[in-house]
Amino acid sequence: MGASSSSAAGPRDASASRFPRPKLTLPDRTHVSPVHVSSGLNAASQRFDKSRRLRRRAEFQQVFDAEQRIRGRFFTLLLATSPASKTRLGIVASRKLGDSVRRNRAKRLIREIFRRSPQTHDSPGVDVVVIPRRELFGTAYASLEEDFRSLLTRGLARLRRT
């Protein structure tokens, strides 16, 4: 028993394993998937980069102080003009909305709606803060998108009047 245990305890050759591991190959990052090619969208233009986000407390506070609130069924939008050349988005998802999973889902939905909305590309120099409501969950994406776009259109019209 002693002789067999000493041979089993010796160093093992990784290539002599009973279950060899496959080689890991990483995808080429320069390749554009067929989905993006067929839809006519460039993969780089789909990103929600930092220049399109409100990130600092002072930027959020400036929008809150502007007093342009539009309440909708699923969102409350706050708008303010800004010196930036792009329309920027900020999201305030408090714990009243739910646990972290629900808050993060709400933020992902809002970012996607904002990114796909044509009004955000046509109106430079506007900061938008979105406060989601609990009614957002369990609602179809098309309804959320329609509500957001109508609120944004109304808010931009108010900003142009002032």
The class that CATH gives domain 50-161 is: alpha beta
Cβ pair 154, 161 in contact under 8 A: no
Q: In which element (H, E) is residue 143 found?
A: helix 141-161
pLDDT of residue 118: 77
Which string of DSSP letters, residue by residue, matches 44-58? GGG---GGGB--SHH
For the stretch 2-31, pLDDT in tens is 555 555 555 555 556 676 666 666 655 554
Q: Which of 73, 75, 157, 91 is CA-nearest to residue 127?
A: 91
List Cβ neighbours of 121 (8 Å cut-off, separation of 6 or more): 87
Give the pLDDT mean for 40-57: 71
Residue 10: which residues within 8 A CB-CB, separation 6 or more?
none
Residue 159 near residue 79, CB atoms below 8 Å: yes
* Mean pLDDT for all residues in the chain: 79
